[in-house]
Structure 1
Amino acid sequence: MAVFTPVSEQDARNLLSNYSLGEFASLKGIAAGIENSNYFLTTSAAEYVLTIFEVLKVEQLPFYIELMHHLAERGIPVPKPQTRLDGARLTMLHGKPAAIVSKLAGTYIVSPNTAHCALTGATLARAHLASADFTIRQPNLRGLSWWQETAPVVMPFLSQSAQNLLSTSLAEQIAVARSEDWRALPKGPSHCDLFRDNVLFAGTTESPVLGGFIDYYFAGVDAWLFDVAVCLNDWCIDQTSGELIPELATAWLEAYSRVRAFTEQEHRLWPMMLRAAALRFWISRLYDFYLPRPAKTLKPHDPTHFERILTQRTLQAIPNLPKDF
């Protein structure tokens, strides 16, 4: 993530004294994203990622940290939070909460193929089922209530046509959230931000091996179908137009449904959920673009990308969710 908080080698050495993770070897900032400060931390024993939380509050963090630990303990490939000598998995650095997690193998894929999509879909379904008995509950903090709060803030920066799209789309989501189908959707801990750059792969293009899911710090309890829609809107599209690529979408959805079958309510709400996922990231990118926070290394994303995707989900025929798996 972007480097907001500088960390020195001595800071890292002092931090490691609270763990049993080996001796300090190196520290390198990770210049990507816009939410937390991340560093690659290498010791004599292994490679880790040090995260300093710039926005999330201490009382919110146990959900994310313990969820990753819960999933890792159940064989889901996610970064495993490391435990301090005193038994805690959260620590403090420069007055901010921080954590050290295991570093997963692989790199993210810029242009995924059907094999990458299938592996990701199946693994997300496994993660959803594995999280079903996780006892800490926290809503998706970038869910509908946040959209309603943030839309008026970004609205003045938009053209009239974009304002109309935002208003209409938000009204649709408010109405759907009141429906019986919405209330009946399977829900539970969800990643909520599983873009291509949050999934690591090793192996080859033809025979990829999934290294794992990273960056669970936007996770929350939400409809699992929303998690699926977030993925389809990033993994299975033409990056220029925002249109869904049918063969990628089919591979992703069929692999997921072989692990967890979709319900009748999910089938009915699927087109709307794709629009919900596009709306969420359009609003957040508008906010980050027009109202950025200072950072040493900051790369805000183009908000018009998700405006195009939201428009396409209104115009383009949507691939059906698989049945009979």
Structure 2
Amino acid sequence: MSVFTKVSHAELEAFLRHYDLGTLIGYTGIGEGIENTNYFVDTSHGRWVLTLFERLNYDDLPFFLGLMEHLARHGYASALPVADNDGRTLSSLNGKPAALVARLTGQSVLFPTLAQCAAVGHALGELHKLTASYSGTCGNSRGVEWRRATGETLLPKVPEDARTLIADELAAQARLDLAALPQGVIHADLFKDNVLFVDERLTGVIDFYYACNDALLYDLAVTLNDWCAEADGSLNKAHAAALLSAYRACRPPNAAEKAAWPLVLRAAAFRFYLSRLYDWTFPREGDLVHIKDPEPYRRILVHHRTQAAPAL
């Protein structure tokens, strides 16, 4: 969530006239994240989040908005997209696809507790069960082919130690067949800043704009790497055990997933190391743009390459 596209007060007022949300009280840009332009918007009828999509096009977006609506209608803690006066949840603003969603209560956490890690494991397991009935499909834009192509693009641009790591991991990942593992619609970006809590009660899962069809185990690995990693790249064993136990209670992994688990953890770490290193190497312009340091994910990747995976 960053601000690449500026929206004036008058432009936002004109946009809101297409919705039954009352009058504009105020709005502010959201600086976290790296992909889309986001604003908190307050009106006389409530609080909302406005997203202008910088890379996704109009044809892509019904999948994501439909998924959020599907989850919210089934009682999941997902923000419900807001329909305009013509019944559409997808609109446009300043030449970009745009959508409004209800703003959920709660705050993200930087240092999760055991109970919060367990809540996230449960939420991910429930997500994987609920998305089984969602009919939309979308390929993973940061999947196997993206990782291969991005790694090869970075090789001539990065220092020698990074080149060695990327080349070796590309060779190792060629042995992994994610398509052979159980598949479904996944969040693919369930980081701490995409989950909201009030105390230790999970109140919201947000930012589904990387959601896609891929291996369910990959989603679990992405989540575990962010929620349970220490500053040195190692995993907090108690946090990992809490998250995995809660997930297993919803969806027990099968034998093939258990065998693939160590390499899937590496694939998930590699994906975010590559994306952050790419953004570091080829920065984008914009106001309040937040470029994340690739170093934490280099350390997580190195840990998974040298240490045993937590029991799945």
TM-score normalised by the shorter chain: which range applies?
over 0.9
Give secondary structure in 1 for the equivalent of 2:133: coil
Decide whether the 8 Å contact of 2:273 with 2:297 is kept in 1: yes
Paired with 1:76 and 1:164, the residues of 2 have a C-alpha distance of 43
Is 2:217 the counterpart of 1:225? yes
Report the CA distance between 1:226 and its aligned residue.
0.6
After superposition, residues 250-269 of structure 1 pair within 5 angstroms as 250-269=241-260
Report the CA distance between 1:150 and its aligned residue.
1.1
Report the CA distance between 1:163 and its aligned residue.
1.3
Paired with 1:161 and 1:248, the residues of 2 have a C-alpha distance of 31
Give secondary structure in 1 for the equivalent of 2:109: coil
TM-score, normalised to structure 2, is 0.97
AA in 2 matched with 1:200: L
- Provide runs of 4+ in structure 1 moved above 3 Å: none
Paired with 1:284 and 1:183, the residues of 2 have a C-alpha distance of 21
Q: Report the aligned-residue RMSD.
A: 1.1
Which residue pairs with 1:136 in the alignment?
Answer: 136
AA in 2 matched with 1:222: D
AA in 2 matched with 1:224: L
Q: Which of 234, 237, 240 matches 1:249? A: 240
Give secondary structure in 2 for the equivalent of 1:176: coil
Give secondary structure in 2 for the equivalent of 1:175: coil
Paired with 1:49 and 1:286, the residues of 2 have a C-alpha distance of 28
| Deviation readout 1:178-210 (Å, 9 max, x if unpaired) | xxxx4442211111111111111112xxxx111
Report the CA distance between 1:171 and its aligned residue.
2.0
Which residue pairs with 1:288 in the alignment?
Answer: 279
Which residue pairs with 1:210 in the alignment?
Answer: 202
What number of residue pairs does the alignment pair up? Answer: 312
Report the CA distance between 1:72 and its aligned residue.
0.7
| Deviation readout 1:279-310 (Å, 9 max, x if unpaired) | 00011001111101101111211112111111
Give secondary structure in 2 for the equivalent of 1:31: coil
Which residue pairs with 1:192 in the alignment?
Answer: 188
Decide whether the 8 Å contact of 2:27 with 2:39 is kept in 1: yes
AA in 2 matched with 1:115: A
Decide whether the 8 Å contact of 2:179 with 2:214 is kept in 1: no
Which residue pairs with 2:163 in the alignment?
Answer: 163
Paired with 2:44 and 2:206, the residues of 1 have a C-alpha distance of 23
Which residue pairs with 1:75 in the alignment?
Answer: 75
AA in 2 matched with 1:14: A
Give secondary structure in 2 for the equivalent of 1:40: strand
AA in 1 matched with 2:273: W
Decide whether the 8 Å contact of 2:179 with 2:215 is kept in 1: no
Unaligned stretches of 5+ in structure 1? none
Query: Which of 268-277 and 3-12 deviates more?
Result: 3-12
Give secondary structure in 1 for the equivalent of 2:83: coil
Paired with 2:210 and 2:16, the residues of 1 have a C-alpha distance of 26
Which residue pairs with 1:62 in the alignment?
Answer: 62
Give secondary structure in 2 for the equivalent of 1:247: helix
Which residue pairs with 2:310 in the alignment?
Answer: 319
Paired with 1:162 and 1:271, the residues of 2 have a C-alpha distance of 21
| Deviation readout 1:83-117 (Å, 9 max, x if unpaired) | 11112110000111000001011111110111010
AA in 2 matched with 1:213: V
After superposition, residues 21-170 of structure 1 pair within 5 angstroms as 21-170=21-170
Query: Which of 88-97 and 143-152 deviates more?
Result: 143-152
Identical pairs, percent: 42
